[in-house]
Amino acid sequence: MAALSLEFLQPAFMQRALLAAVLVGMSAPAIGTYLVQRRMALMGDGIGHVALFGVAIGLALGAAPVLTAVVVAALGAVAIETLRERGTASGDVALALLFYGGIAGGVVTIGLSASASNANLLAYLFGSLTTVAPEDLRLIAILAGLVLAVTLGLSRWLFAVCYDEEFAKVAGLPVRALNLVIAVSAAVTVTVAMRVVGVLLVSALMVVPVATAQQLSRGFRATLALALTLGVLYAVAGVIFSYYADTAPGASIVVLGIAGFAVVSALAGIGRTVRNQRRRPDLVEVYEDDVILES
Amino acid sequence: MTHEPPAIDARDLTVSLSARPTLRGISIQVAQGEVVALLGANGSGKSTLVRTLVGLVPAQAGRIGLYGIPLERFKDWYRIGYVPQRVTAVSAVPATVREVVSSGRLATSRLGRPLSRADQVAVGDAIETVGLAARAGENVAALSGGQQQRVLIARALAGQPDLLVLDEPLAGVDLTTQQLLAGTLARLVAGGTTILLVAHELGPLDGLIARAVVLRDGAVAHDGAPPVAAGHHGQPGHDHVHPHDPVSTIEQEARWLR
């Protein structure tokens, strides 16, 4: 029984895929919590689009795609952050151009390069179990370590900037630098997650565990910790599922995550209703400012 | 007579947020230990003025000094406690009262260092001051609007600032919170804190304010004793502003400064 249930650990590619899944499962929600806090849940998606172009450059040049992707994604993230900071309407369109230019340019470049195939492209879009090469794993581990060091080590500063940028400015914090740290960390995370989850679904692993965790927690650090735990859980379970079901791991991870979100939301909703019915007087207190409306 | 520099010394500020200037040559000085209310109707420029003074809005002309240092070179931000005008303190990801208030200590924290014992004490004191000690571990979203406003004030207090700048702290706040806030500010003033606050009407803060600067159309219309509201419905900044000529007020002030 035990031998049967651990059979997925036998192939070397699965060991690498699972290790990568653990790293991705931690780093994606770690940066995702800040993106959700800043109401930029879709930023990871945009960076993912741009990262594909980086992958394509790597394939075309015969360089390590993870390396070229991290450079291109970081440049894209800095561009996105600069446009966000300006906050103009034309910036919105510029973002769209950047995203679609990234993914279209990536697909065309991969198509033109000699080593390309459709399977190759699909692996980068939706993740693949067999593509995590040993040298990839080393790079992924280093990058994930960096992302975790930054997102956990600077959590008070990043929280302050994401919660209230103006207050952070008046407190004398290096707001621009911290915003760029968030953008570049997001870009690095995209490349970390790219192999297992794929560039199109990276953003989901940044957002879904956070969205689930915040239904259950009252504080920021608690949400962060729970999101990391859920991220690892989803990523590992998704990889194992895709091994047996022969599905794309990225899609499997995200489907599991969204199912988890639905279950937790339903339970949290029931919990809230029960609590509110039991503690009726609390309602009055919570809405004390609305008393005027009733008079 | 000591020569300590004023907490705020702004001269001839011009700020244009759109085509029409929002602030037209405003000068304002706030001495250390002074409590000043910035009054005026909606759109008179009072919020823009405080946002300019703390460096959030760039001025097209004029200069600002904080504690004798030009704004561009000012580094001692820990001395300033800023309470921005917010409708809510709720964040996209849940955050506890303590977590929000803790960010008020970052101005004095070295990057990457954990909260020190002194930080924790200051955060606890600030939460206590605004009467939310029992709810420190709760999600800010679970609090009422007035309580959320108190969280933002506690965040500014946590840094133990010398100058507290509050942008409409009474807006949309229940009477209990208004009174609690008046008590808190009175204690801070007694301790020597300088306060500049933007208000629509003074309400329970009336007894605390010795000096009011009334703005009208982006210029100073009155600077002196708080305008007395006639009748209970009287609103400073509307009908009861002293009818000074703004230009002559500024000139008078300039003469006084020399």
pLDDT tens by residue, A196-211: 899 889 999 999 999 9
CA distance A137 to B233: 71
- Evaluate whether B65 touches B216 at the Cβ level (below 8 Å): no
| Contact flag B91-A220 (C-beta cutoff 8 Å) | yes
The whole-angstrom distance between A289's CA and the closest CA on chain B is 6
Beta bridge partners of B49: none
Residue A274 or A23, more confident: A23
| Contact flag B115-A156 (C-beta cutoff 8 Å) | yes
| Contact flag A214-B84 (C-beta cutoff 8 Å) | no
Q: At what angle do helices A89-112 and A118-126 cross, to 10 degrees?
A: 140
CA distances (Å), origin A227, targets A48, A105, A179, A233, B93:
20, 33, 21, 10, 11
Which residues make Cβ contacts (< 8 Å) with residue B99, sequence separation at least 6?
A159, A219, A220, A221
- Evaluate whether B151 touches B100 at the Cβ level (below 8 Å): yes
Q: Is the dihedral of CA A168, A170, A171, A177 positive or negative?
A: positive
pLDDT at A295: 31
Q: At what angle do helices A175-197 and A155-163 cross, to 10 degrees?
A: 100
Residue B251 or A76, more confident: A76
Amino acid in position A35: L
Residue A274 CB coordination number (10 Å): 10
Residue B55 CB coordination number (10 Å): 19
Q: How does residue A115 score in pLDDT terms, banded at 50, 70 and 90?
A: low
- Evaluate whether A156 touches A169 at the Cβ level (below 8 Å): no
Beta bridge partners of B197: B37, B166
| Contact flag A33-B109 (C-beta cutoff 8 Å) | no
CA distances (Å), origin A287, targets A29, B87, B144, B145, B219:
33, 15, 6, 8, 39
pLDDT at A280: 54
pLDDT at A4: 56
Preferred mutation among A161, A167, A282 to probe B, highest tally of B CBs within 10 A? A167
Residue B78 CB coordination number (10 Å): 18
- State chain A's mean pLDDT as an integer: 87
Whether residue A22 is predicted with pLDDT greater than 50 in this model: the reply is yes
Chain B touched by A151 (CB under 8 Å): no
The whole-angstrom distance between B13's CA and the closest CA on chain A is 19
CA distance B192 to B258: 26
Residue A217 or A89, more confident: A217
Beta strand B80-83 with B61-66: parallel, antiparallel or unpaired?
Answer: unpaired
Q: Is B136 helix (H, G, I), strand (E, B) or coil?
A: coil
Phi, psi of A121, deg, nearest 5: -60, -45
Phi, psi of B194, deg, nearest 5: -85, 140
Placement of tokens 């309407």 in the chain: A89
Average pLDDT over every residue of A31-50: 91
- Evaluate whether B165 touches B83 at the Cβ level (below 8 Å): yes
Placement of tokens 């990391």 in the chain: A228
For residues A143, A146, A147, A148, the Cα torsion angle rounded to the nearest 10 degrees is 120
Chain B touched by A173 (CB under 8 Å): yes
The whole-angstrom distance between B258's CA and the closest CA on chain A is 31
- Evaluate whether A250 touches A55 at the Cβ level (below 8 Å): no
Average pLDDT over every residue of A185-191: 92
- Evaluate whether A209 touches B119 at the Cβ level (below 8 Å): no
pLDDT at A86: 79
CA distances (Å), origin A99, targets A49, A102, A105, B119:
5, 5, 10, 43
Q: How does residue A284 score in pLDDT terms, banded at 50, 70 and 90?
A: very low
Reading the block at residue A38, the tokens are 């800043």
| Contact flag A220-B94 (C-beta cutoff 8 Å) | yes
Chain B touched by A94 (CB under 8 Å): no
Which residues make Cβ contacts (< 8 Å) with residue A236, sequence separation at least 6?
A18, A21, A22, A25
| Contact flag B172-A218 (C-beta cutoff 8 Å) | no
Q: Which residue of B106, B137, B143 is in closest CB contact with A171? A: B106
- Closest alpha carbon to B166 in B134, B139, B193, B133: B193
pLDDT at B250: 41
Q: How does residue A229 score in pLDDT terms, banded at 50, 70 and 90?
A: very high
pLDDT at B143: 92
Reading the block at residue A62, the tokens are 């015969």
The whole-angstrom distance between B232's CA and the closest CA on chain A is 19
Helix (H) or strand (E) holding B65: strand B61-66
pLDDT at B238: 42
Reading the block at residue B104, the tokens are 């008020």
Preferred mutation among B93, B109, B143 to probe A, highest tally of A CBs within 10 A? B93
Residue of B nearest to A161 (CA): B103
pLDDT at B91: 84
Chain B residues with CB-CB distance to A219 below 8 A: 94-96, 98-99, 137, 139
Model pTM score: 0.86
- Evaluate whether A53 touches A108 at the Cβ level (below 8 Å): no
| Contact flag B92-A37 (C-beta cutoff 8 Å) | yes
Whether residue A276 is predicted with pLDDT greater than 90 in this model: the reply is no
Whether residue A184 is predicted with pLDDT greater than 80 in this model: the reply is yes
| Contact flag A173-B146 (C-beta cutoff 8 Å) | no
For residues A271, A229, A72, A48, the Cα torsion angle rounded to the nearest 10 degrees is -40
Whether residue A240 is predicted with pLDDT greater than 90 in this model: the reply is yes
pLDDT digits (tens, 9 = 90+) for B126-157: 999 999 999 999 999 999 888 998 999 999 99
Q: Residue-wise pLDDT tens for chain B (258 aa)?
A: 457 899 999 999 999 887 777 899 999 999 999 999 999 988 888 999 999 999 999 999 999 999 999 999 999 999 999 999 887 888 889 999 999 999 999 998 888 888 899 999 999 999 999 999 999 999 999 998 889 989 999 999 999 999 999 998 887 778 888 888 888 899 999 999 999 999 887 888 888 888 999 999 999 999 988 877 544 444 444 443 444 444 444 444 333 333
The whole-angstrom distance between B48's CA and the closest CA on chain A is 13
Q: Which residue of B55, B93, B144 is in closest CB contact with A36? A: B93
Q: Which residue of B80, B138, B144 is in closest CB contact with A288? A: B144
Q: How does residue A96 score in pLDDT terms, banded at 50, 70 and 90?
A: confident
Chain A residues with CB-CB distance to B56 below 8 A: 166, 169-170
Average pLDDT over every residue of A16-23: 94
Chain B residues with CB-CB distance to A214 below 8 A: 93-94
Chain A residues with CB-CB distance to B86 below 8 A: 164
Q: How does residue A116 score in pLDDT terms, banded at 50, 70 and 90?
A: low
Reading the block at residue B153, the tokens are 């004030």
Phi, psi of A205, deg, nearest 5: -75, -20
Which DSSP category does B143 fall into? Answer: S
Q: Is the dihedral of CA A155, A158, A164, A168 positive or negative?
A: positive
Which residues make Cβ contacts (< 8 Å) with residue A146, sequence separation at least 6?
A185, A188
* Stated length of chain B: 258
The whole-angstrom distance between B256's CA and the closest CA on chain A is 31
Chain B residues with CB-CB distance to A29 below 8 A: none
| Contact flag A157-B106 (C-beta cutoff 8 Å) | yes
Q: Is B196 helix (H, G, I), strand (E, B) or coil?
A: strand
Q: Which residue of A159, A170, A288 is in closest CB contact with B54? A: A170
How are strands ordered across the β-sheet holding B23-30? B23-30, B8-15, B61-66, B69-70
Q: How does residue A89 score in pLDDT terms, banded at 50, 70 and 90?
A: low
- Evaluate whether B31 touches B9 at the Cβ level (below 8 Å): no
| Contact flag B77-A172 (C-beta cutoff 8 Å) | yes
Phi, psi of B117, deg, nearest 5: -60, -45
Q: At what angle do helices A175-197 and A12-37 cross, to 10 degrees?
A: 150
Residue A134 CB coordination number (10 Å): 9
